[in-house]
Chains A and B, each alone.
Chain A
Amino acid sequence: MLNTILPILIFTALALAVIGALRRIRLWRQGRPAPVNLFKGLAALPRRYLVDLHHVVARDKMISNTHVATAGGFVAAAVLMILVHGLGIASPLLGGLLLLASASMFVGSLFVARRRINPPARLSKGPWMRLPKSLMAFSVSVFLITLPTVGLLPEGLLEGSTSWFLVVVLVGLVAWGLGEMFFGMTWGGPMKHAFAGALHLAFHRRPERFSTKKGGGGRSTGLKALNLEDETAPLGVEKPADFTWNQLLGFDACVQCGRCEAACPALAAGQPLNPKKLIQDMVVGMAGGSDANYAGTPYPGKPVGEHHGTPHGPIVAPAALPEGASLVDAETLWSCTTCRACVEECPMMIEHVDAIVDMRRHLTLERGKTPNKGAEVLDNLIATDNLGGFDPGSRLNWAADLNLPRMADLQQVDVLLWLGDGSFDMRNQRTLRALVKVLRAAEVDFAVLGDEERDSGDVARRLGDEATFQSLAKRNIATLSKYRFQQIVTCDPHSFHVLGNEYGELGGVYEVRHHSTFIAELYDAGRLTFSPWKGGSVTYHDPCYLGRYNGEFEAPRNVLKALGIELKEMERSGSRSRCCGGGGGAPITDIPGKQRIPDMRMNDVKESGAELVAVGCPQCTAMLEGVVDTSAEVRDIAELVADALVERPAGEASGASRQPAATPTAEEVIV
């Protein structure tokens, strides 16, 4: 009996799954083409899944073990089940393995269930609440129907009239399990994440993010350029179908784990953004429908159920429509600080920031709807090459007494010091002065571009104005190409990121260092000597564009250590550092929330007990200093270093590297 029903069930479920998969693929294919190497991607899939994805998931050991047991068990059980029960290869060995697999899955599902008893707020509810039960139904039923195969149960038990009831129950359970696991996987149930997730990993739009066997890889954070030459190419994303197909696929991979939402500073500040909901809205848009079924944290202040979209309808309602008539409100998109905390946390390696900037591009380039000060700032950039609309000829006024060497005079130096738009900001000028003092103390051969420098284009790009970004970038690249230098050093992580990671696509390839990295190197090379730290306790705030964007967590800490400072780390630091609120043009678009992001960050500082917070970014300095009623002082690392400088003792004049005394490098050990 069971022997006839099971194959039918299994193959029906499989057939339905295939149909579902085709339908799903059709949904993704609505997107625009993207250059993806399909075979290479599929070949890399196992490694991407087992190594890279697991690397992220393993930040939470419990979940990672649960997932290994459940997913591993399921994959094995599914394959074996097809063999054993579908094709009827009733070998005891296979049967035994199947028992093991389903048992493992069952154990896993127990943990999944436990997690669902009192789920943290970031987890979505709805269909996700039934998932542990479905997992159990599947694993238990498979376990039970396999028992006879290995002879642990008399074959006859399920035969005969008495067992009718049992059979019906079992078949019911199997059907439930198969329904969720096979059918649901491609028809939009919670298990969709396995199907879409696997393909998403294979066809990811940033394959550079994944490690290779040879090592390397890992970070790919630069935004991708729009083709402005082609007048028919859409400027950004207006409707879901304007995303590339693999972006749509990526949205479908979301497991609604809410790790992104837990990390998002905008959500925490009560601004109308939740990265998880945003991704889910994109899924709603690609399939068409309303967000009424969303069962997670909404955008603060925006009830669920009022928004809806279609693959070819606008994501953000054009001004003419009443609010809420579309998929997402503009202010949701403008709340993002592009801090990448969500991307960093996402186990499915979904690219929220790319999607947000894509949609902003449409709003800015096509609709001219950059909110608040956005339009003014962009006009300034266009007319004066700086954010504040200052006279570009006054870029170096602050340094009139410093006699800074100019590239135009020297033509060739070791270090090109990129000053950034902080040149116009009185507060940042103090940092720049400190940095110049440090460079001079270390006798670095450096020069500045002076009035030839322009804004790097970071803000323009993140406000969606790709045209202004590219115009600035191209002119900066032309200027830089006139001179010869080994590396660019800057105290602005935003310029650092853009020059280092985003100019390359436009033809400007440079070696760029953040000043903390460079100072650390100078110190290691014995070119700087510090007096011991006498101040109070210090904590360090990782700038997003230095840390998460560029992986530089160590150098600033090393510099502080060299100063004799023992850091009191904040709870959220390093790759999980909380944004200051200053990135992505967020202070310019200034979407109101319940509180301000920098206020929360200064609260983190307060909780660490530190009296001073060291930063390495002009934007962070401005944001954190703008917080009122705080006790902690905000200083840039360059300032701390400049204050601690002492004349080098004569004997130790040059080149006495500190490196060997500290940790010996690999080569040194080998040699």
Chain B
Amino acid sequence: MPHNVNTLNDAELSVAVLVSVGRHPLTGRARRADHDARAVEMALSLGDASVQLMHAGDGGEACGDAMRGYLGMGISRVKRINQDPDADVVPALANILRFAAPQLVLTGTRAETGEGSGLVPYLLAETLGWTVVSGLAEIESIEQGVATVLQALPRGKRRRLKVRLPAIATVDSSAPAARQSAFGPARRGELADCACASVTDELQTQWRVQPARKRPKRLKIVKSASARDRFKAAAAKADSGGGQLLNDVTPEQGAEAIFTLLKEEGVLR
């Protein structure tokens, strides 16, 4: 590795952000991907770090639109590695990262198009032999080749981690929202294209991809000894369909009903 973590302190911190083509969930229009944009935001909030944006993709119109979205955040250029549409982008990205040798790579948690498996950062980390951490909410500090970060846990909780650089970190929706993308800088920004041989992702060609179906709602299965209880439970479910209204109850009765609901939903800790 070209890294010498001990000297990181002296050199300017260099951060690469891997950005992808986002897709609006309702209209399918190309846009900057939400997680990736948050990753860019996090990189920009690192003060005087030098930030490079990289994208490997097919360079089509959607790609251009999406990249303008990132440029609009005040980025002067995006390095775009042109790949065939069905290429596996990991080799190309690994290549360029090895060459650019940033100390920290930020990515979104998963892409808004394609497989969206969220594997890319792990694959890159394994290929490059770097550390990988997921779900960053904040980077608290970077000192002496070690980043102190907050990892997001469910329910707004946070865990503090110290991560040895070079590292790849993923960012999801608990990180601060991305700044607005403005028209002027988006128009001025540069898309710096470069070529790199494509490695076709063979496996993906065998998959069948459809728009997401609605998942069936799981029925509450009542396991009860007696048929009568089961029947009662089923009947109770049916009539509470429209929402329950408790009128003319004492505060205690009302509180009991709320309490039961809170417990059922598992929010009382």
Contact = CB atoms under 8 A, between A and B. Distances in A.
Interface of A: 231, 235, 364-370, 374-375, 378-379, 382-384, 389-392, 465-467
A374 B182 CA distance: 12
A288 to B, nearest CB: 26
A383 B73 contact: no
B31 A364 contact: no
A366 B185 contact: yes
Interface of B: 24, 26-27, 29, 31, 72-74, 179-185, 187-188
A382 B114 CA distance: 22
Contacts, number: 51
Given A235-B183, A368-B179, A384 B26 contact: yes
Contacts of A231: 187-188
Contacts of B185: 366, 368
25 contacts: A231-B187, A235-B184, A364-B180, A364-B182, A364-B183, A365-B182, A365-B183, A365-B184, A366-B183, A366-B184, A366-B185, A368-B72, A368-B180, A370-B180, A375-B180, A378-B180, A379-B31, A379-B180, A379-B181, A382-B29, A383-B27, A384-B27, A391-B26, A392-B26, A392-B27
Contacts of A364: 180, 182-183
A368 B188 CA distance: 14
Majority secondary structure of chain B interface residues (helix, strand, loop or mixed): loop
Nearest 4 Cβ contacts at the A-B interface: A368-B182, A368-B180, A375-B180, A366-B184
A611 B42 CA distance: 53
Given A235-B183, A383-B29, A383-B31, A368 B24 contact: no
A367 B74 CA distance: 8
Contacts of A382: 29, 31
Contacts of A367: 182
A231 B185 CA distance: 11
A231 B186 CA distance: 12
Nearest to B32: A379
A465 B26 CA distance: 22
Nearest to B178: A375
Nearest to A390: B26
Given A365-B182, A382-B29, A391-B27, 10 more contacts: A231-B188, A235-B183, A235-B184, A365-B184, A366-B184, A367-B182, A368-B185, A378-B180, A384-B27, A391-B26
B223 to A, nearest CB: 39
Contact of B24 (A235, A370, A384, A466): A384
A383 B180 contact: no
B73 A368 contact: yes
Contacts of B180: 364, 368-370, 374-375, 378-379
A467 B185 CA distance: 13
A369 B184 CA distance: 12
Contacts of B74: 368
B191 to A, nearest CB: 15
A364, A366, A368, A465 — most chain B CB neighbours (10 Å): A368
Contacts of B184: 235, 365-366
Nearest to B23: A383
Contacts of B72: 368
Contacts of B179: 368, 375
Contacts of B183: 235, 364-366, 465-467
A383 B31 CA distance: 8
A390 B73 CA distance: 24
A365 B72 CA distance: 9
Nearest to B24: A383
Contacts of A368: 72-74, 179-182, 185
Contacts of A365: 182-184
B182 to A, nearest CB: 3
Nearest to B73: A368
Nearest to A231: B187
Nearest to A369: B180
Contacts of B24: 383-384
Contacts of B181: 368, 379
A365 B187 CA distance: 10
A383 B29 CA distance: 6
A423 to B, nearest CB: 15
Nearest to A364: B182
Contacts of A392: 26-27
Contacts of B73: 368
A370 B184 CA distance: 14
Nearest to B72: A368
